[in-house]
Amino acid sequence: KNQVEQSPQSLIILEGKNCTLQCNYTVSPFSNLRWYKQDTGRGPVSLTIMTFSENTKSNGRYTATLDADTKQSSLHITASQLSDSASYICVVTDRGSTLGRLYFGRGTQLTVWP
Amino acid sequence: EADIYQTPRYLVIGTGKKITLECSQTMGHDKMYWYQQDPGMELHLIHYSYGVNSTEKGDLSSESTVSRIRTEHFPLTLESARPSHTSQYLCASSETSGRSGSYNEQFFGPGTRLTVL
């Protein structure tokens, strides 16, 4: 069964600190993995995308890693800001689907305190 | 910011009412999707469309229906709303794969928060 599991479920950190969010998946065949940021009451917005051959991808203070062998990904946020408070969702695309079917994790709810 | 719009943003209605959630995109995308999301839970695909006159049911069974008469418009209708329909509904769109190398990135609208009393 294709699944995406994220941890932790929620996380509270102080402004300026770093944090790492985890994602494990069983989706096969694998096409790509995205990390989305979803602010409260808004739709998800893509932060990074990684394909099978990519190990690391950065987007400003966000750095994603992918280990396709162990089917694990992480999202590292450096020097956190109050605006980073949001849900971070790991999304894996199924290469075997003509639709490009997406499998979503439940997200990690990050709260950054001043 | 993606050019995909949803109205209304919030809707509170009584049981038995008919409602239509609107979704429009100005990116010319062929594929469009409707997802349902409950608090703290993952998004579930309830409907999708490959293009005009194409509609398919998603993974999660839903009593709603959709139509795709124009490329840019993908409305969702509930004929008789019930409290179990209370949820957030997200619309998304994407290009047909391979044309832009965007790996099927789906662009999401802001969502409609539906509450049925």
Q: What confidence tens digit (pLDDT) does each residue in B17-75 have?
A: 999 999 999 999 999 999 999 988 999 999 999 999 999 998 887 889 999 999 999 99
CB pairs under 8 A between A and B: 56
Tokens for A17? Answer: 């600190």
pLDDT at B100 over 90: no
HSE-up (13 A, CA, CB side) for residue A30:
25
3-state DSSP call for residue B53? coil
Half-sphere exposure at residue B63, Cβ-oriented, CA atoms within 13 angstroms: 12
Q: How many residues are recorded in chain B?
A: 117
pLDDT at A103: 92
Q: Do A42 and B113 touch (CB under 8 A)?
A: no
A88's tokens: 């971070």
Question: What single string gives the DSSP state of each residue in A36-93?
Answer: EEE-TTS--EEEEEEETT-SEEEETTEEEEEETTTTEEEEEE-S--GGG-EEEEEEEE
Q: What are the tens digits of pLDDT across the range A33-46?
A: 999 999 988 899 99
CA A58 to chain centre: 12
- Reported confidence tier of residue A105, pLDDT bands at 50, 70, 90: very high
Q: How far apart are CA B1 and CA B5, in angstroms?
A: 11
pLDDT tens profile A62-102: 999 999 999 999 999 999 999 999 999 999 988 877 677 88
Q: Which residues of A touch B9 (CB under 8 A)?
A: 41
